[in-house]
Amino acid sequence: MIRVVLPHHLRTLARVGAEVELPVEGAVTPRSILDALESAYPMLRGTMRDHATQERRSLVRFFVCGQDVSHESPDMTLPAAIGAGAEPFFVMGAIAGG
């Protein structure tokens, strides 16, 4: 199972705790994780990436194993620790505003 840590506002929207666990089929990439996340929690569609273009929303960031992968390809293969559930995939709101 993949572990995903959501920011506070998406937790309250999806009514989940700090971390959710998801099965992800095939290659573990940012895209496949977000696809699985949105499939399990449809209210999250459009909150992290654009409905139509699938582009990341500009104030959303993705971190894995201490690295910011927000600007990497959504099809990059993520470290094995993510696929194994040893490390979570972090979705974060960029620091901006109050």
Partner 1 sequence: MSLMSGVRVLVGTRKGAFILTADGTRERWDISGPHFPGWEIYHLKGSPVEPARLYASQTSDWFGQQIQRSSDGGKNWEPMGNEFSYDGIPGTHQWYDGTQHPWEFKRVWHLEPSLRDPETVYAGAEDAALFRTTDGGKSWRELPGLRTHASGPQWQPGAGGMCLHTILLDPVQPDRIFVAISAAGTFRSDDGGQNWRPINRGLHSEYIPNPTAEVGHCVHRIAMHPSRPNVLFMQKHWDVMRSEDAGDSWREVSGDLPSDFGFPINVHAHEPETVYVVPIKSDSEHFPPDGKLRVYRSRTGGNEWEALTKGLPQSNCYVNVLRDAMAVDSLDECGIYFGTTGGQVYGSADAGDTWTAIVRDLPGVLSVEVQTLP
Question: 7 vs 83, which CB is nearer to partner 1?
Answer: 7
Question: 28 vs 44, which CB is nearer to partner 1?
Answer: 44
H helices of 4-77, in order, are: 8-14, 30-40
State the residues that interact with partner 1 by CB under 8 A: 7-10, 12-13, 43, 45-48, 51-52, 57, 59-60, 93-94, 96-97
Question: 51 vs 71, which CB is nearer to partner 1?
Answer: 51
Q: Which residues fall within 8 angstroms of residue 49, CB to CB, at 6 or more apart? A: 34, 55, 56, 57, 60
